Structure formats: structure tokens, C-alpha cells
Amino acid sequence: MDKEKVNKLFRYEHLPEHMQHVSKQFFDLAHNIIAEAPPSSEQTLALRSL
């Protein structure tokens, strides 16, 4: 999965401010997964699990 798709799926700026800090953690984790794990079914599964 590419960064653009992850950005679209895990965006959080539209959320109320008190919820953004929680959602940002998932956004950051998703970006870490695509940066560290090679593109594979395991990467996709990890992103879907978020």
C-alpha cells in the first residue's frame, strides 16, 4: 500500500481536536508499517488490523 492511500485511510484532521491525538497514533503506526515492512500480504494484514 502506498503512502497516499494510507494518508487517505488514516487521516485525522477532520476529527474533533480531543480525538485527534488518539487517531494520530494509528496514522503514525500505519506509516511505520509501510516504511519498515516490505510490501506483502503481511503488510496489508497489519494495516487492515489497525
pLDDT at 7 over 90: yes
Predicted pLDDT at 18: 94
Predicted pLDDT at 9: 94
Cα separation values, 6 from 12, 15, Å: 11, 17
Q: How many structural domains comprise the chain?
A: 1
Predicted pLDDT at 2: 84
Do residues 12 and 23 lie in contact, with contact meaning Cβ atoms separated by under 8 Å? Answer: yes
Domain region containing 39: 3-49
pLDDT digits (tens, 9 = 90+) for 11-44: 999 999 999 999 999 999 999 999 999 999 999 9
Per residue, the 3-state secondary structure of the chain, as one string, reads CCHHHHHHHCCCCCCCHHHHHHHHHHHHHHHHHHHHCCCCHHHHHHHHHC
